Amino acid sequence: MSDENKYNLKSPAVRRLLREFKDLEKEKSLLYEASPTEQDIFTWHFSIRGPSETPFSKGKYHGKILFPASYPFKPPSIIFLTPNGRFETNKKICLSFTEYHPETWQPSWGVQTVLMALISFMPTPSRGSIGSLSYPPEEIQRLALLSDSYNCKECGVSLSQILNGSLSADSKDISPQLKADIDTLLSCPTPASQSSSGNKDPSKPQPSETQKVPVSDSISESIVSAQPSSVNPKVATSSDALEPKSFISQNSEPCTIPEIESIAAPSQRDANNASSVLQPVRDHQNNLPSTRGLDLCIALVSTVLAYLIINKIF
């Protein structure tokens, strides 16, 4: 790796990754190798050996670890580059220690934990999680034999040149604490995610298993379903306004709207009361005889008398 001075050593993530790289360089393993790229300390390339006594045992597998700026408080992302039959290539995979499950991640875990956990997860069932595959054992064995010829175009690693020592057991020289961490990761339930054909980025909101219906759609469906089957619509009455109405969405309980009823009901009663008060006045006006002609005569006589009186005085 190039000069450390080009990195921000005040960053907890940078200091942690530099320390882990030094530890891996001091304690070489025949099970795995990992190191950051020259361009970005947050991007690491790794190589692991397949677990013994499994269809992966003769394979070597290469990939990338992408660390977030908040590492080690947030988990990394894992991408495999070598075809293996267990995980898709060039796609972030979903495991209990990747960015898909930050709730199970522990800051005490590091690169070594991630690599050993990857080896342990290779022969486990895929469970339909994101980036998982379920190839038959024969195909996995075929890919394992071909993996030795893989050369990484990004970092220049040739799998045929590394991890060639013989192993008496995969667990050789593994500390008890690391074994306990791996057991914890393997026991973490990873819920089945969407199929790989419908995977989505974890930074985007994921839909729930039961698709929710938008509020506008649920209300429209309730209105349509409430329409009577007969041609003539039902005429609303004052008693109808007092009955609580409910809108039922696909995945929610019925919800009443008492506020609307409490407003609509008094308005209906006020209109009825006003109508009952004005009705007698209208009836009285309709029963009165026509007095328009009589009013004109009285006005004419009053005008003539006023004229005569004024002429007599002056």
Q: Average of pLDDT values for 231-245?
A: 41
Contact in structure between 115 and 46 (CB atoms under 8 Å)? yes
pLDDT recorded at residue 312: 75
Q: Residue 229 pLDDT > 90, yes or no?
A: no
- pLDDT per residue as tens digits for the range 123-160: 999 888 999 999 999 999 999 999 999 999 999 999 99
Q: Average of pLDDT values for 220-224?
A: 36
Percent of the chain with pLDDT over 90: 48
Assign 297 a pLDDT band (cuts: 50, 70, 90): confident
pLDDT recorded at residue 118: 97
- Which member of 94, 152, 155, 297 is catalytic? 94
CA distance 45 to 151: 12
The SS3 of residue 222 is helix
CA distance 216 to 218: 6
Q: Residue 2 pLDDT > 80, yes or no?
A: no
Contact in structure between 47 and 101 (CB atoms under 8 Å)? no
Q: Residue 116 pLDDT > 50, yes or no?
A: yes
Assign 5 a pLDDT band (cuts: 50, 70, 90): low
Selection from 86, 97, 78 nearest residue 147 by Cα:
86
- pLDDT per residue as tens digits for the range 165-199: 887 544 555 667 666 766 676 676 654 444 333 44
- Active site (annotated) includes residue 255: no
Q: Would you kindly state where each structural domain of the chain is located, as residue ranges?
A: 4-198, 259-314
Q: Average of pLDDT values for 31-56?
A: 96
Structural fold of domain 4-198 = Ubiquitin Conjugating Enzyme (3.10.110)
Q: Residue 202 pLDDT > 80, yes or no?
A: no
pLDDT recorded at residue 165: 85
